[in-house]
């Protein structure tokens, strides 16, 4: 019984995440989420009494963890931070291609559509970006960069990855991500 319950909740979160990523917040309805998750509307409201905002916030936390996992894997590929960043852009490029350019950042659309209008969602978005920056910052610190430089560079690394992922989706090409990897490596190189 425990397993089934957990399974349903997770299916709902994954379905929400996928729908938000591909059609945005405004375009996604609870009924569609329940259909995609193969869950009754009753069970969706059982797990998420706060409705669509609560669901979206949870989907964003799910996306936060997914991207954090990819960042950790990439950054762990090399002790050299510049090489480690290019490992991240390679992993991102592979994942995007595998999804036929559909599954980019899981939170961008929702974040943009709810600016100033949904505090629960905004908090989850702010926390996700802070988490990703912290992972990169830790890597840069560990490789010897000063605290201010590491913090600032980490912010630009995350923002640039976001923009490059969007460009890769639009161009249906891995090239914007590979190029970004080379430029970020070059920028990081100027700090050593």
Kindly list the residues in this chain that would bind its own copies in the complex (CB under 8 A).
21-28, 100-102, 104, 108-109, 111-113, 115-116, 122, 125-126, 129, 152-153, 155-156, 158-164, 166-167, 169-171, 176, 179-180, 182-183, 186-187, 190
Q: Using CA of residue 75, residue 81, residue 85, residue 90, what is the dihedral sign? A: negative
Q: How far is the CB of 170 from its own copies (least distance, A)?
A: 6
Residues 6+ apart with CB under 8 A from 143: 79, 80, 81
Q: How far is the CB of 160 from its own copies (least distance, A)?
A: 5
Contacts of residues 170-177 at CB distance under 8 Å and 24 or more positions apart, as own/partner, are 172/101, 174/93, 174/94, 174/96, 174/97, 177/89, 177/90, 177/92, 177/93, 177/96
Q: How far is the CB of 2 from its own copies (least distance, A)?
A: 36
Q: Is 51 exposed, middle or buried (0-12, 13-18, 19+ CB in 10 A)?
A: exposed
Q: How far is the CB of 191 from its own copies (least distance, A)?
A: 9
Q: How far is the CB of 169 from its own copies (least distance, A)?
A: 5
Q: How far is the CB of 102 from its own copies (least distance, A)?
A: 6
b/e map of 99-131 (b: 16 or more CB within 10 Å)?
eebebbbbbbbbbebbeeebeebbebbeebbeb
Taking the least distance from each CB to its own copies, the nearer of 63 and 176 is 176
b/e map of 57-68 (b: 16 or more CB within 10 Å)?
bbbbbbbbeebe
Taking the least distance from each CB to its own copies, the nearer of 78 and 156 is 156
Taking the least distance from each CB to its own copies, the nearer of 45 and 101 is 101
Taking the least distance from each CB to its own copies, the nearer of 28 and 143 is 28
Taking the least distance from each CB to its own copies, the nearer of 7 and 182 is 182
Taking the least distance from each CB to its own copies, the nearer of 3 and 190 is 190
């Amino acid at each position: 019984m425990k397993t089934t319950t957990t399974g349903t909740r997770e299916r709902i979160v994954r379905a929400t995440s996928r729908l938000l990523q591909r059609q945005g917040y405004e375009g996604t309805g609870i009924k569609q989420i329940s259909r995609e998750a193969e869950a009754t509307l009753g069970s969706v409201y059982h797990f998420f009494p706060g409705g669509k905002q609560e669901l979206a916030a949870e989907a964003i936390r799910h996306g936060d963890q997914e991207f954090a996992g990819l960042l950790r894997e990439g950054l762990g590929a090399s002790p050299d931070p510049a090489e480690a960043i290019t490992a991240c852009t390679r992993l991102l490029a592979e994942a995007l291609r595998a999804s036929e350019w559909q599954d980019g950042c899981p939170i961008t659309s929702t974040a943009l559509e709810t600016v100033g209008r949904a505090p629960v969602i905004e908090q989850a978005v702010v926390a996700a970006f802070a988490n990703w920056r912290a992972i990169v910052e830790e890597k840069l610190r560990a490789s010897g960069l000063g605290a201010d430089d590491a913090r600032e560079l980490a912010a630009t690394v995350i923002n640039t990855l976001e923009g490059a992922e969007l460009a890769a989706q639009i161009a249906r090409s891995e090239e914007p991500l590979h190029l970004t990897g080379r430029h970020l490596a070059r920028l990081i190189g100027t700090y050593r």
